Structure 1
Amino acid sequence: MPQSVPTFDELLDSAVTSAVHLEMRDAYGVASEAEDFARWHEIGQRDTDPGSAYWAPWTALVRRTVARGVSVRRARIVSEPVSDYIRYEHAGTVVNLGAGEDVRWLARRRASDLALPGNDFWLIDGTVVRWNHFTGAGASGGGEISTDPAVAKLCADAFEAVWARGTPHDEYKID
């Protein structure tokens, strides 16, 4: 019987020490970002108001997670030159940072010799993996949970390898 997949609120609210997220796609097409991405693409301006309807649920979740002493880190592996979507993500990362996340970027060519899992994931406290599945077009394909210690170790090792090579957001420049 498949394990139920907790919401992101439940997942981060369950964290005691750490929540890490590895993103490996150059484009996402999730419905909740469609309007903001289209606006950015049209006028070049990104919603960076942490209190906006778009950002408020996420910033509140991260703030309360960090307030409990949980480290929240996000690493992104990206192809260079970057895609329009990555430019969009980069423009909004100031909000992630302001909420308490730490974010690093790694050029895909610098990840070639790293053992990476096949999907994006969240790893909570080094023990619970939430796989993020996506369709070919980047839409959410649902999530999946694993508590297999070998899978958690694969994800922890992959994340830390990417993190060690990654460039902090404030230093990662997009041309």
Structure 2
Amino acid sequence: MMPSSVPSFAELLGQCERSAVHLELRDSYAPTDRFEAWKRGERINWEDRESWWHPYDQLIADTVARGVVIRRARVISEPVSDYIRWEHYVTRANITAGEEVRWLPRRRATSIPLPGNDFWLFDGALLRVHHFSGDGAVVEDEITADPEAVKLCSAAFEAVWERAIPHHLYKI
């Protein structure tokens, strides 16, 4: 499916009624200005919510307020990359918005059949699969309701979630 024909994340989340789960499998993604600032030593003033609260955070908060459970699991290598160290730091925003987040060290994932790509799964039925270049830039997103892909991704997420460490307990 061409990227222009893929519904936006906001549209997909807006149609979601029960659950949205996100599995991340990479140790780094394309650098952002926020990541580069963090690497220079800049830190977020968590007390000044207006300075860090983004439209994404509001979308998540609004969706959770409708009763949708949003869970994110990250499979990561240890020792962690700088990018993962930064993600762990900024996950406070995800948690504040209402996401549940867990971390699974890759060595504990060996016996889990994992898909080859990061994904979002909406209401256990519709996948938004992320395709990345080698340097972590998004190449395109693909939407599918293929029953086999949905089954694999759902089972993989649940297996990761069961073994993963809740954010507040995972120390870097």
- TM-score, structure 2 as length reference: 0.93
Gaps of 5+ in 1: none
Residue 74 of structure 1: which of 46, 49, 72 is its match? 72
Residue 84 of structure 1: which of 65, 82, 88 is its match? 82
SS of the aligned residue for 1:116 comes to: coil
Partner of 2:158: 160
Q: Is the 8 A contact 1:24 1:78 kept in 2?
A: yes
Q: Is the 8 A contact 1:46 1:91 kept in 2?
A: no
The offset of 1:51, in angstroms, is 3.2
RMSD (Å), alpha carbons:
1.6
- Alpha-carbon distance in structure 1 between the residues aligned to 2:106 and 2:113: 13
Match of 2:29, as an amino acid?
A: Y
Change in Cα spacing, 1:36 to 1:162, as seen in structure 2 (3 Å) is same
Change in Cα spacing, 1:11 to 1:51, as seen in structure 2 (3 Å) is farther
Measured against aligned partners, the alpha-carbon deviations of 1:68-90 in whole angstroms (never above 9, x if no partner) come to 10000000000000000000000
Match of 1:64, as an amino acid?
A: D
Partner of 1:18: 19
Match of 1:161, as an amino acid?
A: A
The offset of 1:14, in angstroms, is 1.0
Identity level (%): 55
Gaps of 5+ in 2: none
Equivalence map 1:114-129=2 (5 Å): 114-129=112-127
The answer on 1:170 being equivalent to 2:168 is: yes
- TM-score, structure 1 as length reference: 0.92
Match of 1:147, as an amino acid?
A: A
Q: How many positions carry a matched residue from both structures? A: 170
The offset of 1:100, in angstroms, is 0.3
